[in-house]
C-alpha cells in the first residue's frame, strides 16, 4: 500500500498491509485530495490490478469550490442549492451580492 497521508502510514498497523515507498510497488493507493498537483495521470497505473482511493474528477462532488463551479457553469435552474461562490474566482460577484443583501 502506498499513501501520501502521514496518518495512514503511521496508524495502519494491520499485518495484512505493507506500506511501500513508491506507488509503483503498490496494489492499493490512498492519495490526498491534492492528487492533481502530483501529475497523477502520468503515473501509468495499472487500473485493472490497483485499488485507488478516488474517482477521476471527484473534486466536483466533494470540494466546495468545485461544486460551486460545476453548478454555476452547468445548471440552468440553480434553485437546488443556496447561492454559493468560489472566492478565488468570483470574489467581486460575492461582494456585490453581499452589498445588495
Indicate if 48 and 64 belong to the same structural domain. Answer: no
Task: Indicate the average pLDDT of the chain.
Answer: 82
Indicate if 14 and 46 belong to the same structural domain. Answer: yes
Indicate if 65 and 46 belong to the same structural domain. Answer: no
* Containing structural domain, residue 13: 2-52
- Residue pair 58/35 in contact by the 8 Å Cβ criterion: no
E-strand stretches of 1-101: 2-3, 28-30, 51-52
Indicate if 45 and 65 belong to the same structural domain. Answer: no
pTM over 0.85: no
Domain count, the chain: 2
Indicate if 31 and 64 belong to the same structural domain. Answer: no
**All 3 cell numbers of residue 28?**
492499493
Indicate if 69 and 95 belong to the same structural domain. Answer: yes
For the four alpha carbons of 47, 40, 22 and 51, in that order, the dihedral sign comes to negative
Q: What is the mean pLDDT of residues 14-30?
A: 91
Report whether pLDDT(66) > 70.
yes
Amino acid at each position: 500500500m502506498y499513501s501520501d497521508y502521514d496518518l495512514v502510514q503511521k496508524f495502519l498497523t494491520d499485518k495484512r498491509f505493507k506500506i511501500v515507498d513508491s506507488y509503483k510497488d503498490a496494489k492499493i493507493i490512498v492519495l490526498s485530495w491534492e492528487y492533481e498537483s502530483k501529475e497523477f495521470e502520468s503515473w501509468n497505473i495499472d487500473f485493472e490490478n490497483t485499488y485507488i482511493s478516488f474517482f477521476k474528477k471527484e473534486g466536483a462532488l466533494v470540494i466546495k469550490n468545485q461544486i460551486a463551479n460545476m453548478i454555476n457553469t452547468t445548471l440552468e435552474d440553480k434553485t437546488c442549492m443556496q447561492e454559493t461562490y468560489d472566492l478565488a474566482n468570483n470574489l467581486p460577484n460575492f461582494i456585490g451580492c453581499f452589498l445588495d443583501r
